[in-house]
Structure 1
Amino acid sequence: MNQLNALKKFTTIVADTSDIESIRKYKPEDATTNPSLILKAVNIKSNQHFIDKAVKYAKQKGGSYRKKIINASDKILVDLGTEILKYVPGYISSEVDARLSFDKEKCILRAKKIINMYEEQGISRKRVLIKLASTWESIKAAEELKKENIFCNLTLLFSFAQARACAEAKIFLISPFVGRIYDWYFSQKELFSSFLKEDPGVLSVSKIFHYYKKHNYKTIIMGASFRNIKQILDLAGCDRLTISPIFLEELESSTEIVERKLIPSNIFFQTPVSFSEEEFRWEHNQDAMAVQKLSEGIRDFGKDQLSLEKIFYKKI
């Protein structure tokens, strides 16, 4: 048995790509996208028809020039997601514009719009996860959206404070970024060389996993953003892992033994008192890595969103 199939015994595998061919090949349960992956997908010549369809949709909807650009961007997000859902039995994660990450009400409105667009194409909201950055405002938006059966994937998660706030808000799923946590500590290696004996990204997800399980939180933990195969295998047993095609291929081509590393607790503890907003902001602020990587991630996704919009600027 290859490592990919062995890993599937312990963990639900999610494809971290918008590449249809990779999804068809590796047969993941779910798939995730983000502005970077959408931008990469639309730059493939064979996907040009998605751009043309989005432009046509935006012109038909009308409104201001800015409104047309937003509608075209949302349309291509939903159309790619709809196409991906033909090849996965589970969820597609579709991301709200990262520039809205600090506005709860705008996140809610955009999430509802995206869900409505999926439903117009015959896709049940039960198969779509709305991706939001793990800011306080977005966590609260996801908490509200859940009341309307719109479930969210809280991404760009780096601190334990973010994970705890998501669990207390009963968020459906979180995506802690293993590789980006590792990147930050590696860049600070002169200060943290002893810490790097154990992978800090793996340690972060392991801590969240054991905390959630011992307090019986139902929020799904999906490790994301990997830099090497070892990080993936060290999290065997995590609820889900979202993996890029390059590592899916590497796992499929190896027959080395896969051992389960994360095992849920069967002893439960009393649920802690919920975070206040002030407590959340202070605890998150105490983690320099998380503060830097969250803001950096939001900026980078915002830049990719703008690059996507520039494609439409020329056509609308």
Structure 2
Amino acid sequence: MGSPESLLDVLRSYSAVDCDTFDIEGERQLGPFVDCTSNQAIAYHELIRLNEDGKPLHAELIEDAVDYASAKRSSYPDVAVAELAVETMMVKLALRIVPYLKGYSHIQTNPKYSYNKQKTIENAKRIVAIFKDLDPAYDAQRVCIKIPSTWEGLQACRELENQGISTLATTMFCLEQAALAAHVGCTYIAPYINELRVHFDENYVDQHKAFDFCGSAQRYYEKIGSKTQVLPASLTSIQEVMKLAGAHHITVAPHLLTKLAETPANPWKGETGSVFKGKAEEEAVDYSDIVEDESAWRLAFTRSQEGKGEVKIIQAINIFCEKQDGLEGLTRR
């Protein structure tokens, strides 16, 4: 007789479930997963972990990444060794998790390039090259590059997708961003259900969670026949996760995955899939007049939700830049 069905089992019957972590233990225990998502914050907090003896858990990985970056200095003369070492550390962490995945490894570009199309493109190509260099047997088609959903970032996504590199438009908060992401051909978008601040300020609660946006984006993509898939992120409870059952993909942090696996599906009195139910007749908006017009798109984005989306992405980029600084600091120490 099999074990009772858990909420994680139920979620997997509705959506492709991804892990939002660089901690390999969760994947071992609860995998395999489809994709593994990450960012500078996840990388930083994984790399500063200590082992049972109180020593850095990943000291050898960090040292190896710095050695690799130093050796590659001539290949990337315009990139600081610390920055290249950060990219290498993230790829090394991702490669440890590959055996527990069916799909993509997601690595985020340097958030300091959020408003620079060309540097974002170069950064993405460098990340793919590092994957190939560190593990020649790894299929580079399984790398997905996460890029903040600014105008410049989404134009970079267009060029990368045209060159065969999969992209995910991250830090997304409104339909103006989602429409542009589909137009440029992103493989995924990541609607942030909670603004990023909630994960770093325990007293802060997002009063405008993006459930409605997430549901509208998925219905919009299905109506226009877009290949882009919705992958909600930034979740704080299993109740939030289960409301999103039915998303194309969903990425979940280890502590929530554990709770889902430990919670029996029967009885479950919370909502399941409510975000995607009952709104099929909502009015379709036509974004064709702004997706090729930078000025019009920027203005529409600025005015969306009375500016809340723009405020949230600025906040997220700032937090990720702080974590990028922290990662570069690790390499220098």
Question: 1 CA distance for matches of 2:144 and 2:295?
Answer: 28
Match in the other structure for 2:193: 178
The one-letter code matched in structure 1 to 2:86 is: S
Going from structure 1 to structure 2, the CA distance change for 1:247 and 1:187 (only over 3 Å counts) comes to closer
Q: Structure 1: which 5+ residue stretches go unaligned?
A: 190-195
Taking the TM superposition and a 5 Å limit, the aligned residue runs for 1:71-110 are 71-110=84-123
1:212 is the counterpart of 2:217? no
Shift of 1:229: 1.7
Q: Deviations over 1:248-286 (max 9, x none)?
A: 1111111235744426979xx897525221221111101
Question: 1 CA distance for matches of 2:140 and 2:114?
Answer: 21
The one-letter code matched in structure 2 to 1:46 is: L
Match in the other structure for 1:163: 178
1:116 aligned residue (113, 118, 129):
129
Question: 2 CA distance for matches of 1:2 and 1:280?
Answer: 43
Question: 2 CA distance for matches of 1:166 and 1:147?
Answer: 13
1:145 aligned residue (150, 156, 160):
160
Taking the TM superposition and a 5 Å limit, the aligned residue runs for 1:1-316 are 1-27=5-31, 28-44=33-49, 45-62=56-73, 67-120=80-133, 121-122=135-136, 123-180=138-195, 200-256=209-265, 257=268, 259-261=272-274, 262=276, 273=288, 275=290, 276-286=293-303, 287=305, 288-314=307-333
Higher mean alpha-carbon deviation, 281-290 vs 257-266, is at 257-266
Question: 1 CA distance for matches of 2:236 and 2:205?
Answer: 17
Note if contact 1:31-1:88 (Cα within 8 Å) is conserved in structure 2.
yes
Note if contact 2:8-2:261 (Cα within 8 Å) is conserved in structure 1.
yes
Q: Any idea what SS the aligned residue of 2:99 has? A: coil
Shift of 1:66: 6.4
- TM norm structure 1: 0.89
Aligned length: 305
Shift of 1:182: 10
Higher mean alpha-carbon deviation, 92-101 vs 121-130, is at 121-130
- Give identity over the alignment, percent: 24
Note if contact 2:197-2:315 (Cα within 8 Å) is conserved in structure 1.
no
Question: 2 CA distance for matches of 1:201 and 1:250?
Answer: 22
Question: 2 CA distance for matches of 1:181 and 1:274?
Answer: 30
Note if contact 2:36-2:104 (Cα within 8 Å) is conserved in structure 1.
yes
Q: Any idea what SS the aligned residue of 2:22 has? A: coil
Q: Any idea what SS the aligned residue of 1:154 has? A: strand
Shift of 1:100: 0.4
Note if contact 2:197-2:316 (Cα within 8 Å) is conserved in structure 1.
no
Note if contact 1:158-1:294 (Cα within 8 Å) is conserved in structure 2.
yes
Note if contact 2:168-2:189 (Cα within 8 Å) is conserved in structure 1.
yes
Higher mean alpha-carbon deviation, 13-22 vs 117-126, is at 117-126
- TM norm structure 2: 0.84
Note if contact 2:218-2:229 (Cα within 8 Å) is conserved in structure 1.
no
Note if contact 2:17-2:34 (Cα within 8 Å) is conserved in structure 1.
yes
Q: Any idea what SS the aligned residue of 1:94 has? A: strand
Question: 2 CA distance for matches of 1:86 and 1:53?
Answer: 21
Going from structure 1 to structure 2, the CA distance change for 1:260 and 1:84 (only over 3 Å counts) comes to same
Note if contact 1:35-1:95 (Cα within 8 Å) is conserved in structure 2.
yes
Question: 2 CA distance for matches of 1:313 and 1:178?
Answer: 34
Shift of 1:62: 3.6
Q: Structure 2: which 5+ residue stretches go unaligned?
A: 50-55
Note if contact 1:182-1:200 (Cα within 8 Å) is conserved in structure 2.
no
Q: Any idea what SS the aligned residue of 2:17 has? A: strand
Over the residues paired in the alignment, what is the CA RMSD in angstroms? 2.7
Shift of 1:22: 1.1
Note if contact 1:226-1:243 (Cα within 8 Å) is conserved in structure 2.
yes
Question: 2 CA distance for matches of 1:279 and 1:41?
Answer: 40
Shift of 1:311: 1.2
Higher mean alpha-carbon deviation, 120-129 vs 29-38, is at 120-129
Shift of 1:219: 0.3
Shift of 1:235: 1.1
Note if contact 1:181-1:200 (Cα within 8 Å) is conserved in structure 2.
no
